[in-house]
Structure 1
């Protein structure tokens, strides 16, 4: 056992010495090879710097030209409208006024090219291709606006659904002894969705120096939800006249829940009307084919036999 232990210790010592020598700086030819390798990496960095990627060489100048054309087509007075649509859509990540303008031009150019290429493959006439190309150009030009409108509608629906829960949490926090700012922070921290983002933005604006009333009014203008505008107006008036906020929050919570129930009932009553179009166009023809098809075939066979 002592001999085995000595052998193990000897092997460990040899391994430690080898590792120590392996960590030493290379000498001679090894040092020259290492220097060449480092110079190769530096050369590669210089090559990458001299040869920028495809996005910087092609896409960036193309977007800049599209932005210039988009500004000429839309005019300088359209910037406020685009900013308003971006606010209603929740300011999607990476979307700015310049990007919307450039995307309008790029889509107006790219979509007709794709549609015309497909039409040429199908062998369409020149008049048809011209009409389809003009329609595709118009659709591509307004495609970013349609995207922002869809995002704004979806975001407004989310705000309308989550506003009652957020106000309930505000009410519970204020009645538990927290101030309004701390209650807003609790809502922003413990919830998710557009309302949490809006309350977080209200807190940031207040930290940057805006008053509570101005921050709340800005939150109301960034959305087209009537319930949120009513809630903001009530909070601003309560802050201005010194009304207890807990009482106002309790009343607003009940009213918002009633309005949300009425909105849900309204949407439920619209379902039978909306389902009529797919029912008439897609479902009933299939039922007629399945039900009346065998009878029609039997009648045709009977008349042809006669």
Structure 2
């Protein structure tokens, strides 16, 4: 094993160097693959001079598919104004470099195969950690939007039946709660207040979210507005369907619990239980035969 340590260390260094070279000098230029997801006020014109920050230049060297995925996840996370693709790529560069250094150090000083495997696993974890964290943040926000939608529709239905208009009911429901769905509704109302058409504001709302239930609801409202259907009836039907779907999802999650419990039960609980129950008997048998 000691003879293989130099080769493993050289391979790890080569792997880290290849990753860094890919992040910095990838040949495919970035194009605005997801510019349609952003509002016109948020889309910045592409500058041709060299005054752009280093993080943006670094992002321009990466493939379109990767930068487009990062931009979508940033939008779904609700951090469009705070985070950028260039900043995320720069963060990934530093995290990857740190992971490679730590992994190579663990491999170089390793005395057994376990430490070598731990070093390799550590490098892989640092490599994918930024994407996992960003995707988790986006999924959590979209899940919160989907869960809050039925209750929000119930509030809007009550407000419309009480005599408010659809925008007034939306404003009342958005002001009566807190969460990502309320923030998105407030932003949609602000878009219509500054002069955007209702259709464009709804399209921007759909671009900022990834909830299929919300997409279906917005499309139903657009069709009701186009064909003159009663908004109260549409809200009532949509709220009832959302509640049924939420109940079905809860039942599905409950049915998956026994399967998810099998792994910790078999590999964590049962071995400890067997040790506690059988250890005194084993000691008695050993003492009897000795």
TM-score, scaled to structure 1: 0.70
Shift of 1:127: 9.2
Q: 1:226 to 1:129 in 2, by over 3 A?
A: same
Given that 2:102 and 2:119 are in contact with CA atoms closer than 8 Å, whether structure 1 keeps it comes out as: no
The answer as to 2:91 corresponding to 1:103 is yes
- Partners of 2:223 and 2:120 lie apart in 1 by 52
Match of 2:153 in 1: 167
Deviates more, 1:256-265 or 1:226-235: 226-235
The alignment partner of 2:209 has SS state of coil
TM-superposed CA distance for 1:69, in Å, is 4.1
1:124 aligned to which of 110, 113, 119: 110
Q: 1:177 to 1:251 in 2, by over 3 A?
A: same
- Give the corresponding residue for 1:179: 165
| Structure 2 counterpart of 1:86 | 74
Offset at 1:93?
6.6
Unaligned runs of 5+ in 2: 1-52
User: Which residue of structure 1 aligns with residue 285 of structure 2?
Assistant: 299
Are residue 191 (structure 1) and residue 191 (structure 2) matched?
no
C-alpha change, 1:93 and 1:142, in structure 2 (3 Å) is farther
Q: Which moved more, 1:197-206 or 1:79-88?
A: 79-88
Deviations 1:185-222 (A, max 9, x none): 11221111111011011112212322222222322232
Q: Could you say which structure has the greater relative contact order, defined with CA pairs below 8 angstroms and 6 or more residues apart?
A: 2
Other structure's SS at 1:228 match: helix
> For 1:147-202, what per-residue CA distance to the aligned partner results, in whole angstroms no more than 9, with x for missing partners?
11111221122112211111011111111111111111112211111110110111
Q: Note the alpha carbon deviations across 1:87-131, whole angstroms, 9 max, x for none.
A: 2222277222221111111111122223444555xx316998887
Offset of residue 67 of structure 1: 5.4
Quickly say closer, same or farther: Cα 1:94–1:141, change in 2 above 3 A: farther
Change (3 A) 1:125 1:92: farther
1:164 touches 1:256 (CA, 8 Å); kept in 2?
Answer: yes
- Under a length normalisation based on structure 2, what TM-score does the superposition of the two structures give? 0.74
Report the CA distance between 1:241 and its aligned residue. Answer: 0.9
3-state SS of paired residue (2:156): helix
User: 1:224 aligns to what SS in structure 2?
Assistant: coil
Q: Which structure has the bigger radius of gyration?
A: 1
**CA-to-partner distance for each residue in 1:23-42, whole Å, 9 max, x for gaps?**
xxxxxxxxxxxxxxxxxxxx
Residues 204/107 of structure 1: CA separation in 2 closer, same or farther (3 Å cut): same
Aligned 1:195-274 pairs, distance under 5 A: 195-274=181-260
RMSD, matched Cα: 2.5
Aligned residues: 238
Q: Distance in 2 between matches of 1:294 and 1:106?
A: 52
Give the superposition deviation at 1:233: 1.3
Is there any run of 5+ residues in structure 1 with no aligned partner, and where?
A: 1-63
Q: 1:113 aligns with which of 87, 101, 113?
A: 101
Give the direction of change, closer, same or farther, for the CA distance of 1:170–1:257 in structure 2 (3 Å limit).
Answer: same
